Amino acid sequence: MSAKKAADIRQHSRLVVDGLKQTAARAMLRAVGFGDADFGKPQIGVASTWARLTPCNMHIRELAEETVAGVDGAGGKSVLFNTITVSDGISMGSPGMRYSLVSREVIADSIETVVAAEGFDGVVAIGGCDKNMPGCAMAIARLNRPGVFVYGGTIRPGAGRRDIVTVFEAIGARAAGQINDAQLREVELTAIPGAGSCGGMYTANTMASAIEALGLSLPNSSAQEAVGEAKRRDCRRAGEAVMHLLEAGIRPADILTRKAFENAITVTIALSGSTNAVLHLLAIARDARVKLRLDDFTRIGRRVPVLADVRPSGRYLMSELIGIGGIQPLMKLLLDGGYLHGECMTVTGRTLADNLADVAPYPAGQDIIRPLTHPLKKDSHLVVLYGNLAPEGAVAKITGQEGLAFSGPARVFDGEERATAAILGGAVRAGDVVVIRYEGPKGGPGMREMLSPTGALVGRGLGDKVALITDGRFSGGSHGFVVGHIAPEAAVAGPIALLRAGDRVSIDATRRTLQVGLTPAELKRRRAAWKPRRAYATAGVLAKYARLVGSASFGAVTGDFE
């Protein structure tokens, strides 16, 4: 790179290190490894989510070092820094899960803060868990400096093709007496064999795929195991790619267009991805200054089929999808079928269509990805519902295996713990509609995931015999007749706060409705008698989040959310 070219693309770092008045800054940077030549190079922040908190992120320090090598080898000066992460799988079912969605905002804020404060010219962010991945993408979108996201990779399956959801469902099976303590312990000891994100098409693998479809990560970054040369090479190439983006003047705003988000929604649907993708794509779009709405998922979902037979509702793990080629052949299939916008720019500096031009189809005989002519479901499994229980909307994950409608008496629980205890104790019966409320963005606060109660229902053999609705959300590992993100939430006197035991709740995925059999006059009478619950937290990050967060229908983002 010529000196003039380097100067042209150092528009942020030169304000920090050039000239007489920045002598003190250079002195401090020398102590962390800068030499004379480094001050003339573009500075690239490498945001690592490494921590020993969770298998999803335990290996990312090594991956970050590979990215550093890629940046430095391409003529830049890398600066490695860390942000936080928390573990959904570990905190699931506990009060700590309230911090999960909150951590998405903290991660985005922290990456934005470091990159902007230190004057980095570009950024590579490496994430490997449910919330740090959208948090990384949100920060890249906000900063609008050349940036690349790298997925930390999926975990290999445990013994007997087990994964984390196997464990949650085994808990329910033990409560029902279907397995004994020794069998439960054997599942616990073998389900998580090492590093990487949870192995099905749960939230991590869903978001990795969606971010790749957005064009914000390199081709096939989403479909690699956490441990191996393919992922190390992906990290080195990401370091090189951000330097190419700098030289070409390509910024996230050139990539994160409305059509790119439509591509991400399309791929998420085809993969039978997590409902959390709705929240996260809305949030990323807000930071990219793209007008994306809940109803866009319905509009796109009417024509996009579900093609992937993957867990939790299907049979296969992400590692098995990787074995037949990952998601690139799926995207090629969708592009050729007219479902993707091929003209969208990506971090390769080429369009999506250019990236997919030479991708080979899946091998003959595989049955993980269905052909377009024989889908698992002809339209989306992500169903946005409205009605007198969800005036602002709710999101259901309906694969068709659960049926398309459910009606039953409400079994109402204020909080996840009470619901889980009732399920494990055998108090929930076939035909019930389990209602878990005061778990929304404000009321939780933090919109906890309901994997413990849904796992318990499946383990007790009730997964296809009851429905569960909540103003909270679901882990990507949840399956069954489940409806989340109900808005307005209970904490702001949404209709879910007014339900009583025995009220008739009806869910219709065909008509896209969520109704309770109460008259407007009765709902009005109950609302007048409703009293807000005492806040869970009055200080600290949870209280701050509860004050600032908006509706789930806008992505549960903080600040100016509408």
**pLDDT tens across 237-250, in order?**
999 999 999 999 99
Residue 150 dihedral angles phi and psi, to the nearest 5°: -120, 130
One-letter identity of residue 168 = F
| pLDDT given for residue 478 in this prediction | 82
Catalytic residue numbers read 475
As a whole number of angstroms, the distance between CA 550 and CA 286 comes to 12
Domain ranges of the chain: 42-156+194-356, 157-193, 382-536
3-class DSSP state of 353: helix
Residue that wins the pLDDT comparison between 554 and 475: 554
pLDDT tens column, 119-138: 999 999 999 989 999 999 99
Contact 256, 141 (CB under 8 A): yes
- Count CA atoms closer than 13 A to 155's CA, side-chain side: 28
Quick one: CA dihedral 397, 402, 408, 412, positive or negative? Answer: negative
End-to-end CA separation in angstroms for the chain: 43
In the CATH scheme, what is the homologous superfamily, with its name and number, of domain 382-536?
IlvD/EDD C-terminal domain-like (3.50.30.80)
CB atoms within 10 A of CB 28: 9
pLDDT tens column, 219-228: 999 999 999 9
| pLDDT given for residue 562 in this prediction | 52
Reading the block at residue 168, the tokens are 């949650």
pTM, 2 dp: 0.96
DSSP string computed for 519-545: -HHHHHHHHHH--PPPPS-SSHHHHHH
Q: What is the DSSP letter of 359?
A: P
CB atoms within 10 A of CB 351: 16
As a whole number of angstroms, the distance between CA 87 and CA 472 comes to 17
CATH code: domain 42-156+194-356 is: 3.40.50.2000
pLDDT tens column, 161-203: 999 989 989 998 998 899 999 999 999 999 999 999 999 999 9
Contact 442, 491 (CB under 8 A): yes
User: What mean pLDDT is predicted for residues 294-310?
Assistant: 98
| Residue burial 80-90, b: 16+ Cβ < 10 Å; e: rest | bbbbbbbbbbe
As a whole number of angstroms, the distance between CA 556 and CA 416 comes to 19
Q: Do domains 42-156+194-356 and 382-536 have the same CATH topology?
A: no
Provide the β-strand partners of residue 127: 151
